[in-house]
A and B are shown apart, each in its own frame.
Chain A
Amino acid sequence: MSKKLNAVIIGPGNIGTDLLMKMQRSEWVQPVWMVGIDPQSAGLSRAQEMGIKTSATGVDGMLAKVAEDDIRIAFDATSAYVHAENSQKLNDLGVIMVDLTPAAIGPYCVPPVNLVQHAKQLEMNVNMVTCGGQATIPIVAAVSQVQAVDYAEIVATVSSKSVGPGTRQNIDEFTRTTASAIEKVGGAKQGKAIIIINPAEPPLIMRDTVHCLCAGKPDQVAITESVHAMVEQVQKYVPGYRLVNGPVFDGNKVSVFMEVEGLGDFLPKYSGNLDIMTAAALRTAEMFAEEIANGAIQLPARG
C-alpha cells in the first residue's frame, strides 16, 4: 500500500491550482480530485489536463467516490460561507479537512508552531488562519517560547494584485482572525494585526513586520537564536521566507522585518502571501500522512 494519502481540492481558483501544482511534487499527498461549481472553470480544465478527476457540482459530485478512491484529505479553498457544509460532509466520511477559508471551525494551524500537536490528536478540521498569520505567527511564537510576550503586533503589506475579492469584501476578517491567532497560537497575551495593500508596479513581494512587547527586558541572545531557528523551520516549506532585518531591540520591544517570496508555481513570485498559505496547507497534510505512515496515529474509520 502506498504511503501517500489521496486528496481532494475544493475550489479550482488560483489557490486551488497553486496547491495542485505543489502537491504534484509531494511524497506524501496525492491529488486525485478537484471540484468546483462552474463547468466552464479554467481551473477545472487545467486539472483535467493534469489527469485529475473533476466535478463541477461541488463536493456532492464526488462524495460517492470517496471510499472507492480512498480519499483521506480535503483542502477547502472556497469561502467561509460554504466551508462548514463541505467539512461536515467529508468529515462524516472520515476525510480530514484542511481549511484555507476564514471559516475557522477547527483550531488554527501554523505548521512550525502547533502542527505536530494537531496531527497527534488527529484533528479532523484544521484552519490555516490567514496569509499574514502564517507569515508572522511563527516569529511571535519564537519570541514567546523564550519569554512571556504581553503584546504582539504584525503589519502585513501585500501587493494589490495578490488580494482577491473575498479578502477585499471582508478585510475585517483578516485583522480579527490574525489577531486572535497571534494570541492563541503565537502565545501573546494580546494580539493586533494590520494589513496594508500596495498597488506599486512591479508588484512588491509580501513583507511583514512583527513587533513584540516582552514582559521584562528581552533576552537578546536567546530571542535572536530562537528567531533564526524558526525562520529555518518555515524555510523548509517556504524557501522564499527571509529575515530582512532584526531582531531589533528597543527597551522591551523586539522588532523583526520579514519578506516572503513565493515559489512561482501557479501564482507569481511576489504573491508570497498566497504561496505561504498553500505551502502551509500542504505541509499540514503531509505531517498527517507522515504520522499515519509511522503508526503514530490511525486513519479515521470510514463512517
Chain B
Amino acid sequence: MDLTGIKVKLHDMSLRDGMHAKRHQISIEQMQFIAMGLDEAGIPLIEVTHGDGLGGSSLNYGFPAHTDEAYFKAVIPKLKNARVSALLLPGIGTVDHLKMAQANGVACIRVATHCTEADVSEQHIGMAAKMEMDTVGFLMMAHMISAKKLLEQAKLMESYGANCIYCTDSAGFMLPDEVTEKVGLLRAELNPGTEIGFHGHHNMGMAIANSLAAMEAGADRIDGSVAGLGAGAGNTPLEVLVAVLERMGADHGIDLYKIMDVAEDRVTPMMDQPIRVDRDALTLGYAGVYSSFLLFAKRAEQKYGIPARDILVELGRRGTVGGQEDMIEDLALTMAKAREATHG
C-alpha cells in the first residue's frame, strides 16, 4: 500500500467516544489537560461531547460529570489551533442543543444517524450548514447495509448541506476490504468537494488496518482516539496510527512524540479499565453490536448473572441499533426469567 504524501486530517475522539469508557465522568481538568496536549501535538479537530452526543445526559445513557456547555466553556478557550466538534444524534439531541454548541464556539457539528435513517437529519444538518459550521453527516453501523445503500443515504445528507460524510464502523465489525469498497464508492459518487471520513473501532483488532484502507480509498478525515480511549475496545489509537503514517510517509501533520506522551502520561492514567480487546469487546465486533453497549452489558451481567457475551450476541441477532441501551437491561431481565423457568 502506498500512502506517500497522502494528506489526512486526524480527528480525536477521546473526549467524546472516550466518555463511554469513562461512564461520562471525565472531569473539567482532565478534559482541559488532554485537549491542550492534543492541540500542542497538532491535532486539528477534537470532539468534546457526552458519549451519546448533545442532549445525551440521561438515565438511559448516563448523567455526565458536567454539561456539554460547561465542557465547551472550559476547553475551547484553552486551544491555540485545534477546533472543537460536537456530536448530535437526532432523536436524542435537538436543534436547540446545536445552537448552544455553536454559541459556545464549537466549529464542527457531526450529525449521526443509523445508516438507513439519514432522513431524520435534515433539520439539524440544514441548520448547521446555514450557520456555516463544518457540517458532517455521520452514518453509524455502516456494516449493516451494502455500499450502494450507504451511498443513497450519504447523498441525502449531502443534499441537506453536509460538507463531509462518514462511513462509521460503530461495531468494529468491518474488515479492510469492506472499508475499501464503501469509502471507495462514496469517494467516487459524492460531489468532489464533499470530504469523506472513516470512524473505526478496534473490537476485531482492525482499526489501524481499516483506517489505512479508508485513506487509500480516498478518505480525507480519519477518526481515532489518543490511547484508544473509546467505546468497546476503543477507537483507532491515534498515537499508533500516527507512527504508522509516519513510516508510510503520509502527510498527517502530527508530532509523533508529543501525541505518544499525551497517550501515556495524560490519558492512560485516568482510564477506569484497560482499553483492550477483551472477550466482550471482541463479541461486539464479531456479532456486529454497537460499541457503547459494552459496559452496560457487563453491568447487566453483574446484576442479573447473564453472561455479557450472551446478551451481546442476542442484541446482535435482534438487529439492535445505536442508542438502544435500554434494551440491555430489558433483555437481561427476560433472559434471567427464562433461565429461572428452565431451572425452576
Q: Interface of A with B (CB < 8 Å)?
A: 151, 153, 155, 157, 160, 165, 168-172, 174-176, 192, 194-201, 204, 207, 209, 211, 213, 244-246, 248, 253, 255, 257
Q: Pick the contact of A199: B92, B117, B329, B334 (CB < 8 A).
A: B117
Contact mask for chain B residues 288-328; partner A; CB cutoff 8 A; 1 contact, 0 none: 00000000000000000000000000000011110110110
On chain B, the number of residues with a Cβ less than 8 Å from chain A's Cβ atoms is 29
B341 within 8 A of A: no
Q: Could you say which residues of chain A place their CB within 8 Å of the CB of B334? A: 244-245
Q: Interface of B with A (CB < 8 Å)?
A: 58-60, 90-92, 94-96, 114, 116-117, 119-120, 122-123, 318-321, 323-324, 326-327, 329-330, 333-334, 337
Total A-B residue contacts, Cβ distance less than 8 Å? 92
A sample of 16 inter-chain contacts (CB < 8 A) reads A160-B116, A169-B119, A169-B123, A194-B60, A194-B323, A195-B91, A196-B91, A196-B321, A197-B114, A198-B114, A207-B330, A209-B326, A244-B334, A248-B333, A255-B329, A257-B329
Q: Could you say which residues of chain A place their CB within 8 Å of the CB of B91? A: 171, 174-175, 194-197
Bound complex: CA of A151 vs CA of B60, how far in Å? 12
Main secondary structure of the interface of B (DSSP, over half): mixed
- B123 adjacent to A170 (CB under 8 Å): yes
Q: Could you say which residues of chain B place their CB within 8 Å of the CB of A244? A: 330, 334
- A197 adjacent to B117 (CB under 8 Å): yes
- B324 adjacent to A196 (CB under 8 Å): yes
- A257 adjacent to B324 (CB under 8 Å): no
- A172 adjacent to B94 (CB under 8 Å): yes
Q: Could you say which residues of chain A place their CB within 8 Å of the CB of B323? A: 155, 194, 196
Query: Closest Cβ of chain A: how far from B332's Cβ, in Å?
Result: 9
- B324 adjacent to A198 (CB under 8 Å): yes
Bound complex: CA of A245 vs CA of B330, how far in Å? 6
Query: Closest Cβ of chain A: how far from B111's Cβ, in Å?
Result: 11
- A245 adjacent to B333 (CB under 8 Å): yes
- B59 adjacent to A199 (CB under 8 Å): no
- A168 adjacent to B60 (CB under 8 Å): no
Q: Could you say which residues of chain B place their CB within 8 Å of the CB of A246? A: 333
- B120 adjacent to A157 (CB under 8 Å): no
Query: Closest Cβ of chain B: how far from A266's Cβ, in Å?
Result: 23
